[in-house]
Chains A and B, each alone.
Chain A
Amino acid sequence: MNRISKKGLVGESLTLFVVTMVVIALLLVFFFMIKGFGKSGSNVEEMESFSLEDSAKFSLGAYINTPVNMEYGGENITIKMSELMRLAKINGDYKKILESNTRAIFKEIYGGDYHVSISFNNSNMLSVGRSLALPQKTEKISPEKFILKTISIPDIEIDLYIFEK
């Protein structure tokens, strides 16, 4: 057997030591990554948001089909909420009817924890419900958690925000 110098052995041992340290460091990094990944978001909270989103989806579907009794050209007529939105775009009186009906409907279901925003060709036409103002960056208040569901019909987009209690 050839003789190995002591220097060579020290070099090999040092290399092995460095490799061991690197492996341990990598294992620790992986461990904390996996631990952190597992903790991100509770599935109960996520699912409660999904069920609130479902509520918003079905409520919006019923909302745009809601019949509204109103006077038009001296006659009492019944039109759908989606049609009232088009009338409200051209006449402020209909906007008031739209606003009061929208408020009455969503207040009944979600109390004060909602905000409805109706846009016509991407310009806001009506906002009803709780203010959407988010805290300033300097304020130490975390923004409120809410879900947003949007429904679109030709030219009109309706956003429903429901705030989580």
Chain B
Amino acid sequence: MKGLNKKGQVLSSALTLGWKLFLIAGITLFVALTVGSIFTAKQDIRPAEVSILANKVMECITNNGIIEPNFNLNGCFIEDNELYVSANLTSIESNFSRFIFSGKQDLGVFCKIPDMIKEGTVYCIDQKYYVLINNQKIERGMLELTVGVKKYESNI
């Protein structure tokens, strides 16, 4: 059986070692890039923010589906200057209606602009709820809630 000389053996070992090192480096780079892309990816959490806020506001202003006609949004988690909440309460049975808002008024204007224009600046949701208004007698009503949140560093 023919064998390799010493030079050939050294060269062969060096090539094998180099290839193994290249493999390890490739795997390390893949793991670093994959994990890095997950942890550094920008996540827009504004849809979650407005959804949770709308739920909290409803829990704050209604009780078993009943809402007081003089309800207000004070103390309903809207201290932040980057948020906007408006509530439009309308009675289905009478001509009672009431509109109130809290937060930054400018955001409310943005919420009325079509998605194409406001994209990347403000995220808003409009949601309708069936409610009962405790207006001397219990009246059927509808509450239209608009919740908007501005884009800032910590939510994207």
Contacts and interface: CB of A to CB of B under 8 A. Distances in A.
B16 interface: yes
Contacts, number: 117
Interface string B115-148: 0000000000101111110000010101000000
B130 A65 contact: no
A48 B47 contact: yes
A58 B58 contact: yes
B13 to A, nearest CB: 9
A16 interface: yes
Nearest to B144: A109
Contacts of A19: 23
B44 interface: yes
A83 B48 CA distance: 37
B20 A16 contact: yes
Nearest to B33: A31
Given A27-B30, A105-B140, A62 B51 contact: no
Given A34-B34, A59-B129, A108-B130, A51 B9 contact: no
Interface residues of A, number: 42
B64 interface: yes
B54 A4 contact: no
Secondary structure type dominating chain B contacts: mixed
A5 B1 contact: yes
Contact of B127 (A12, A27, A30, A52): A52
A5 B2 contact: yes
10 contacts: A3-B3, A4-B12, A6-B2, A34-B34, A48-B125, A52-B127, A55-B129, A59-B129, A66-B140, A106-B130
Interface of B: 1-4, 6, 9, 12, 16, 19-20, 23, 26-27, 30, 34, 38, 41, 43-45, 47-48, 50-51, 54-55, 58, 62, 64-66, 92, 125, 127-132, 138, 140, 142
Given A51-B50, A62-B62, 12 more contacts: A4-B9, A20-B23, A23-B23, A30-B30, A47-B47, A48-B51, A51-B125, A54-B58, A54-B127, A59-B65, A65-B65, A106-B130
